[in-house]
Amino acid sequence: MSPSGIPHSGPPLTENEAEDLLRCICFKTGPPRTLGVEVEWFVHELSDPRLPVAPPRLASAIDTVRSLPLASALTLEPGGQLELSSPPTASLTECLDTLSADLRAVRAGLAPLGLTLGGYGVDPWHTPRERVLREPRYDAMEAALDRTGPAGRGMMCDSASVQICLDAGTEEPGPLGYHRRWRLAHLLGAVMVAAFANSPVHLGRPTGWRSTRQALWTDLDPNRALAPRQDGDPRAAWAAHVLDTPVMCVRSPEGPWQVPEGLTFRKWLRGGGPYPPGEDDLRYHLTTLFPPVRPRGHLELRMVDAQPGTDGWIVPVAVATALFEDPQAAESVYRAVKPLAEYAGDHQAPRNPLWRAAARDGLADPELHAAALVAFPTALEALPRLGAGAAVQDAVAAFHERYVIPGGCPADDPQEVRS
């Protein structure tokens, strides 16, 4: 037990022990076998999604859907966004079927209450949402992120995403090796931002960005939201990045949590904090970092806006899975996106020119468009090899024809009510 009363699993860590632990727990390698997806949604009035849902009404609705027998975990984000997280699944088909069934159940549970789910990267209609989760973690997060401006509150309360969780890859070099997959995630990630941008309107006005959600990440605390540098070994780069990122909060069993300023975890290990940190403190610190690709044993791709329609989320999941899990597709798409590294320069995502262009211009950017014109047909060729059914292949093909070929994205559509 630490002096704060917060338990940690083991004695205080040394700096070397912390680095070794990070290298072990953040990239767990082996042949890719599992897939998971997290989808976030805004809860809206069924009669008119532009009408805000009062917090007591939202709380009652969430209690209702929490009682449903779901395979996925259901949680609430700080602004009242509903999140469903699938269990790890053995195939793309199993993942999509599981999450689709749970979403149908949630929608059916909300409908008698006069509510529905809306798919937008940011809430386009309402004034900034107030936090509905009053917990020490989110109190501390708000205080820490407020130091760099309003983007933190926007990220917490006004944004929604599709997050795709893929195995880290193998130790061996090649298209499924973890070095290659880490690099691919940060280059293809910009293409995913551009192709699936779906948040051009915020607070009722166009923002000038096709993905306003990604723009919020650009303006967030750079230590917490940046990707580590891409040169060198991913394990070492990530471990250094984690230890050199400021601690968001120091937990306490009573009263508000401390929100130190400028206390990196490395400084804490060297005696700069209120007590010697242990393994549980380090694991908690990991949950307060929000890069576009987060290694959590697996790779968590966090860059895709929530998608319109009931099943729009299926397309980015299918495309990412095909391009990462099929070795032939992974090799082909890596060759296609590798030139984007020169566009990105030495700056880290999401602040480098590549990611900024993806969020601002979508596939209207010629380099990103060229990469997408290779990536989507490559995914379509790979999907049958992964056992994807005709409906999934048709959905990806329709998206490719509607958006990718002409160089568009969902943000270019009229921002009609989407539920």
DSSP state string for 348-359: PTTSSHHHHHHH
Strand partners, 74: 84
What is the average per-residue pLDDT within 78-102? 96
Whole-number pLDDT of residue 112: 95
Angle at 164 between CA 88 and CA 8, to 5 degrees: 65
Please state, in angstroms and as integers, the Cα–Cα distance from residue 418 to each residue in 82, 118, 123, 229, 402, following that order. 16, 6, 11, 37, 17
What is the average per-residue pLDDT within 12-35? 94
Strands (E) located in 60-149 = 73-76, 82-85, 115-118
Q: Does the pLDDT of residue 319 top 90, yes or no?
A: yes
How is residue 406 annotated by DSSP? T
pTM: 0.94
Which of these, 162, 136, 408, 407, lies nearest to 292 by C-alpha position?
162
CB-CB neighbours of 344 under 10 Å: 20
Q: Does the pLDDT of residue 10 top 70, yes or no?
A: no
Judged by DSSP in three states, 75 sits in strand
- The number of CA neighbours under 13 Å toward the Cβ of 15 is 12
Banded pLDDT at 4 (limits 50, 70, 90) = very low
What is the average per-residue pLDDT within 274-279? 95
Phi, psi of 205 (to 5 degrees): -130, 145
Structural domains of the chain, ranges and CATH numbers in brackets? 35-134+160-205+309-408 (3.30.590.20)
Cα separation, 74 vs 344, in Å, equals: 36
Angle at 223 between CA 129 and CA 324, to 5 degrees: 85
Whole-number pLDDT of residue 120: 95
Banded pLDDT at 8 (limits 50, 70, 90) = very low
Using CB atoms within 10 Å of the CB of residue 3, give its burial: 0 to 12 exposed, 13 to 18 middle, 19+ buried. Answer: exposed
Q: Does the pLDDT of residue 348 top 70, yes or no?
A: yes
Picking from 61-65, 211-215, 254-258, which range would have the lowest pLDDT averaged per residue?
254-258
